Structure 1
């Protein structure tokens, strides 16, 4: 049985996500690197966020007995790890100070962690909501 997350944890998760993403993007905006390099780092952030949320969902689905194919599960792990690796390689080869490299790495990891927490909170809140078919939430239409 899943407990509904507290409003404080939901708020903290959203604040962490917005803080991480905002800090990372403000850092990119103010950086003195070429536009194509800024685009690389921005794309890695978006890729990493999507991959981390997708991985969290597949892990959670498996724990709840919802079928997940092994290929998709493996792709989620590959995507998440490759996003972190691509950021690490980019920062390793960047002509940034160590403090700037650390800033981007920490803002990136905060964003990934917070995205997972926000997705978990959203799912947990929805699971504890009104039952499907009740007056508050109409049943979903069949697609077959």
Structure 2
């Protein structure tokens, strides 16, 4: 069986060719890619809608927004550094260390900010924490999916 696109006849509809895209070995499924993007969109949208509707001061909203952006960027950067090292692509120890440090700092800033936020009720704190974690995890997964797809297509 070829790894190229193949025309397959659908048994229910005569004379209408259906294009079936063959997934390359090691490439994530379309469902997994979609679920990852969906998780990122849900996590970030929930977080931002929560911030928009929050009664906190604008500087507090800015803090939580900056922590989210910093967390997403640091998670993607760390995932790339880890993957590069694993694949034998040179990564300096300083960049690798800074990537770990940045992710730890972003998670710590979120935790410390929520712990000390007197104007936020406990249920909202949990909401922001879960939306943050979901977004970080989804960003890492999307970055992994992109790398896996790229690598699978380069093998051909």
Alignment match of 1:109 (pick from 133, 146, 149):
133
Structure 1 equivalent of residue 17 of structure 2? none
Q: Which runs of 5+ in 2 are unaligned?
A: 1-24
- Following TM superposition, by how much is the alpha carbon of 1:126 offset from its aligned partner in structure 2, in angstroms? 1.3
Q: Does 1:128 align with 2:149?
A: no
The correspondence for 2:87, drawn from 59, 64, 74, is 64
What's the TM-score, normalizing by structure 2?
Answer: 0.81
Aligned residue number for residue 5 of structure 2:
none
Q: Tell whether 2:139 aligns with 1:97.
A: no
Q: Does 1:26 align with 2:54?
A: no
Aligned length: 131
1:91-139 per-position Cα deviation (integer Å, ceiling 9, x unaligned): 011121111000000000000000000011011111122569xxxxxxx
**1:74-93 pair list within 5 angstroms:** 74-93=97-116
Distance 2:115 2:57 in 1: 17
Task: Provide the aligned C-alpha RMSD in A.
Answer: 1.3
> C-alpha distance in 2, partners of 1:46/1:36?
15
SS across alignment from 2:102: helix
> What SS does the corresponding residue of 2:153 show, helix, strand or coil?
coil
Higher relative strand content = 2
Structure 1: runs of 5 or more not aligned: 133-144
Match of 1:49 in 2: 72
**Which whole-Å CA distance do the structure 2 matches of 1:20 and 1:101 have between them?**
14
TM-score, length-scaled by structure 1: 0.88
